[in-house]
Amino acid sequence: MGRMLEKAMIIIDDGFEEMEALGTYDVLRRGGVDVQLVSVKENLRVKSSRGVIVEAVDILGNGTRFKDYDVLVIPGGPEYEKMSENENVLNFIADFDKAGKLIASICAGPVVLEKAGILEGRTGTCYPGFDQYLSYGKLQQNPVCIDGNLITSRGPATSIYFALTILEAMGKVAEAAIIRDDMLLGYMEYNIRHETFSLTKADVELIKAAQRTISKCYEAGAHMATAASGVMGGSGEIYTAVNIVMDHGISSEQAAISAALAAGETEITTVVTVKGQSGRHMVMPDGASRQTILETNPEAFVLVKAPDGVKKMKIADLLPQSVN
């Protein structure tokens, strides 16, 4: 998907799961996405699985009015049973997939995708137990899984990761990184995982290099720079890059990784991402970049800021998604 994706729709029926639908809606809105709730029944008022009534902006019907949307989201909840029998929904999903557009589904939602005939042989995940109804070629246990134009996730607790992954896939990597930080996701990830390792002199030099990079960009007038990343290759060389809000579609981590690989590095050993003019504020690298680094080196580390100082942790312990 080379162009920036702008429009997303979340289809809902009575019984939709609140966190998966409305939490995703919230994150996409924060990221500047034109996202709409669309009812698949002949009524705009839709009741969630726990009695929350929301009013959709439109009704799906046969879907002809929604062909210009870039992203389709199907949340879980008991609604999946009715959606699985709705021919308009199934045909719309099948056409969306044939067009190569981004489809994201969570929890029991992939059952609807199965009924639409788009899961056979794919790699994905779902709520535990629902895999028996799916024809995945490969089932993942990761919180979020990406396979081409398909994003799947496990359930309510993974909704934020699910939504952030959709944002990243839409080309809004910078926005996703900012939201991750604002919502304290990195803070929670650190507090869930406790195994840490001692910092080395090389780690300190990596942090300083990232800080110098963002300071230099600010001094050069790149006032929209929000983050800089440093990665250390297996050779011990350091590569840095900065993310500019205007340059959608690539994060500072991805740029630094690309520079390292272009220079002939075969693995990344450590990554750090900093924010602010001085780079004193450290944030968690984005999920897609963590996955890329893990693929080059299963023992790679990330440097993160914790309440009691900078900590060194294994990327594998903090990985929110699987990319096929």
Q: What would the DSSP string read from start to end of 28-41? A: HHHTT-EEEEEESS
Q: Is-catalytic flag, 126? A: no
Q: Exposure of 64 by Cβ count < 10 A (0-12 exposed, 13-18 middle, 19+ buried)?
A: exposed
Under a CB-based contact definition with an 8 Å cutoff, are residues 110 and 77 in contact?
A: no
Under a CB-based contact definition with an 8 Å cutoff, are residues 169 and 102 in contact?
A: yes
**Longest CA span, the chain:** 64
User: What's the CA gap between 134 and 73, in Å, rounded?
Assistant: 18
In this structure, what token pair is assigned to residue 308? 């009691």
Q: What would the DSSP string read from start to end of 227-278? A: EEEEEEETTS-EEEEEEETTSTT--HHHHHHHHHHHTT---EEEEEEEESSS
Active-site annotation holder among 107, 126, 145, 217: 107
User: What's the CA gap between 320 and 305, in Å, rounded?
Assistant: 18
In this structure, what token pair is assigned to residue 205? 């030099």
User: What's the CA gap between 281 and 292, in Å, rounded?
Assistant: 23
User: What's the CA gap between 103 and 189, in Å, rounded?
Assistant: 27
Under a CB-based contact definition with an 8 Å cutoff, are residues 202 and 224 in contact?
A: no
Distances (CA, A) of 283 to 158, 304, 319: 20, 6, 14
| N- to C-terminal Cα separation, the chain | 16
User: What's the CA gap between 237 and 209, in Å, rounded?
Assistant: 11
Collapsed DSSP state (helix, strand, coil) of residue 206? helix
Q: Identify residue 29 by its one-letter amino acid code.
A: R
Residues annotated as catalytic (active site), given as ranges: 107
